[in-house]
Chain A
Amino acid sequence: MITRRNFFRAMGSGLAVWIVDPADAQESGGGARRGMNQQAPTDVSAWLHISEAGAVTVFTGKVEVGQNARTSLTQAVAEELRAPVGSIRMVMGDTALTPFDQGTFGSQTTPQMWPRIRKAAAAARDMLTDLAAQKWDVDRASISILNGTVTAGKQSAGFGELTHGQKLMRTIPASEALTPATEWKVAGTSVAKVNGRDIVTGAHQYTYDVHRAGMLYGKVLYPPQFGAKLVSVDASAAEAIPGVTVVRDKFHARPNSESAGDDLVGVVAPDPATAEKALAALRAEWSTAGGQPSNKDVFAYYKKHARAGGGRGGRGGGAAETGATANPNLVPYTVAYIAHTPLEPRAAVAEWSADGKLTVWTGTQRPFGVRSELAQDLGMPEENVHVLMPDTGSGYGGKHNGDAAVEAARLAKAAGRPVKRAWTREEEMTWAYFRPGGLIEVYGAVDAQGKLTAWEFHNYNSGPSGLQSPYVIAGQKTEQVHQTQSPLRQGSYRGLAGTANHFVRESYMDELAHSVKMDPLEFRLQNMNDERLRNVLEAAAGKFGWKARQKAAGRGFGLAVGMEKGGYVAACAEVSVVNGAVKVLRVVQSFECGAVVNPEHLRNQVDGAIAMGVGGALFEQIEFADGKIASNRLSNYRVPRFADMPVIETVLLDRKDLTPAGAGETPIMAVAPAIGNAIFDATGQRIRSLPMTPGNKMPEV
């Protein structure tokens, strides 16, 4: 592990800047996710090194999952250091080299890490200026730095020349003056994906692609259904296959299943096909528990298992008792479980050294969290565990934990060789966690002028993100999350509950607008006072041509807004509905998240969120019954394809006067309600259940 003491020994001499923010230590202090023996996180959030050869390397615990953080953070360095993009290397999510980081989620890379890395680069530029002033004996003011070259009059030098023979370290606070957005040269421009060439040539190595000398391939025996217990296993046929080793080891705890303390039964073999054959040759007997809900009756199950007193109020929350909600006018909505389906399933390669140290390559949004998980599970100190995160084949909130890492580590330990444990698509869709399903009950009242006078909103199971209404409510307002039980393993997702809560709020706002015969745009505008929200709504409606829209048979128009995680979004959708089949024809979406860091990559994120949002709106749904996931493959779980794409028009509002916020999540939130409102406009049918299928009955609640 890198410390300030051993830094130059590890990195070579040169110049280094450490960004220190006491708030970091606090933030990452008492999180429930921290393991028992996790090292106390330091207050350092990033560091930067310039070698004697002039190479600029920046270290951050954030990771690249396709959201282009590697590029945007490189831009931060290039901007403040005045160095070419190509001269900068980001080391990300390597627990031996990068500072502790909670993880890459919650759209936090841009608002938190991006300014810190800029500050580190600004401080390095300052140090280079000092070095040049000293070396050439000139006034600091006469020195300029551009494109990686330091110049004063006729003298000039590269970074490496100036740092030669030095061991300069500066520790700076997270507050340091930065170049204002209006003067940005590199930040704010569409710098191309820094490792794009490696992607299009197939050179980039994902976890799935990592190979180690002597590596074996591992498989793990999973139960036939959730909650099943292993009674016995006959491994003799598997063991008879040449090259196969059968491993039995204590299994780690799996939330929402009762397998904690069960055995891990796995096989390792010299090639994947033999490993598969060996797994199939294991004869296991399981005991199964019945009485588990299905995707059809899970909503009533949530309500039944809601814990009294478990509600969590939102802003201005009332004192409503949880468990049973009393208001008879509440309207129920439901949201299905859906699967992240990252195209690279989770995977890990584990290797043990002769002295008992463990190295694991794995695709995860939380490399330090996975290090804790490994240390805890294997009963070893964290300093002996090294986790590396190769830029991964996407996550969408689905790669927070270390299941594959722990399996690979256990199998490798037993086999005495490096082991790759790559999940199959079926394993990914069955044993990873899902975006939570949810039951949401909503009620609102409007006066004769169309002003909101009351609001009540109860979310069972899907969570608090985006719970709070952005509208002005004149009277009583209650917003609550009710803790309950989920029969399926569930966890983070792009925007998490923000998608569910926005779907319900914005669909119901449409219901209210129609109840007072007002235009949905006008109704929203007159009930909001947030200027940024108004701006995105007007931008989207203007570009869409909302006011000039022409009704036609089987066609419908809908809109929705949202704000979450510092971003503001508005979507307008046009759909056609023919014999119950919905086709989204056009989506115009505007998005504002402060000053834009990289317009093209931001547009790509927003467009991608619309594409993904279409899936959750219209067809993505995990079907399950009796503890079995029926939607366990891409052939029975439909994700959006080329033919599902509407015409997408994204409007970016660049607020150079505001600090940048993240953009990975919020742009998905308005998509489903805009589509649902358009379906209502086309058919007169209000669909209160995701995914929306006209003609389908509302699930039992």
Chain B
Amino acid sequence: MARITQLDVNGAVRRLDVDGDRTLLSVLRDDLALTGTKYGCGEGQCAACTVLVDGQPTKSCLTKASAVLGKKVVTIEGLAADGKLHPVQEAFLDADAMQCGWCTPGMILGAVGLLRRTPNPTEAEIVSGMNGHICRCGTYPRVVHAIQTAARKGGRA
């Protein structure tokens, strides 16, 4: 049971001392107090726990902390730069693409990853790219709309 003593999270090296077999989700939430990353199912079905690992949307509930050693992790807390919201965050606010908001951080990071791969996605590409994310409140059409708006504004940022 290898210990992990540092992680690169949101552009800073964070010191800690945890069992590397623990999930990245738990280490972020319980050790680094980055609670914007959400638990939804623990089996990769809902994507509420999505973070970016070297820019790729990654389900932190299925990822061991040791698997991100030496990689750059970005959580929802690290997306806005100097208090300025990321275009995707702005677009979610403008489209009112949330109700309870539990799925929103994962949705936003999933959308950031999608726009990185596909800067101008069609609606069908958004649907297939985001289909792993669950919003139980049913704001899906608004999320699609937000991603389209962010894409138009160059949401790669």
List chain A positions with a Cβ less than 8 A from chain B.
65-68, 190, 192-193, 196-197, 199-206, 208-209, 211, 217, 271-273, 341-345, 391-394, 396, 422, 424-425, 600-601, 604-605, 607-612, 633-635, 639-643, 645, 648
Contact = CB atoms under 8 A, between A and B. Distances in A.
Contacts of B115: none
Given A202-B105, A392-B100, A393-B101, A635 B140 contact: no
Interface string B78-120: 0110000100010011001011111111001000000000000
B72 interface: no
A635 B43 CA distance: 8
A645 B128 CA distance: 12
B75 interface: yes
A633 B76 CA distance: 26
Given A196-B98, A273-B22, A343-B102, A612 B138 contact: yes
28 contacts: A68-B99, A197-B85, A200-B76, A200-B89, A200-B98, A200-B101, A200-B105, A202-B35, A211-B33, A217-B30, A271-B30, A273-B19, A343-B134, A344-B102, A394-B102, A394-B136, A394-B137, A396-B136, A425-B41, A425-B43, A608-B139, A633-B41, A634-B43, A635-B41, A641-B134, A642-B130, A642-B144, A643-B127
B140 A641 contact: yes
A192 B96 contact: yes
Interface size class of B (residues with CB under 8 A): 35 or more
Interface of B: 19, 22, 26, 29-31, 33-43, 45-46, 48, 75-77, 79-80, 85, 89, 92-93, 96, 98-105, 108, 126-128, 130-131, 133-144
A199 B98 contact: yes
For A190, A209, A633, the residue with the greatest tally of chain B CB atoms inside 10 Å of its CB is A209
A393 B105 CA distance: 12
Contacts, number: 168
B10 to A, nearest CB: 11
Nearest to B19: A273
For A68, A343, A344, A392, the residue with the greatest tally of chain B CB atoms inside 10 Å of its CB is A343
A425 B44 CA distance: 12
Nearest to A664: B99
A65 to B, nearest CB: 6
| Interface secondary structure of A, over-half rule | loop
Nearest to A606: B138
A670 to B, nearest CB: 15
A342 B99 CA distance: 12
Nearest to A66: B100
Contact of B45 (A204, A611, A634): A634
For B31, B37, B93, the residue with the greatest tally of chain A CB atoms inside 10 Å of its CB is B93
Contacts of A634: 40-41, 43, 45-46, 134
A4 B118 CA distance: 59
A635 B98 CA distance: 23
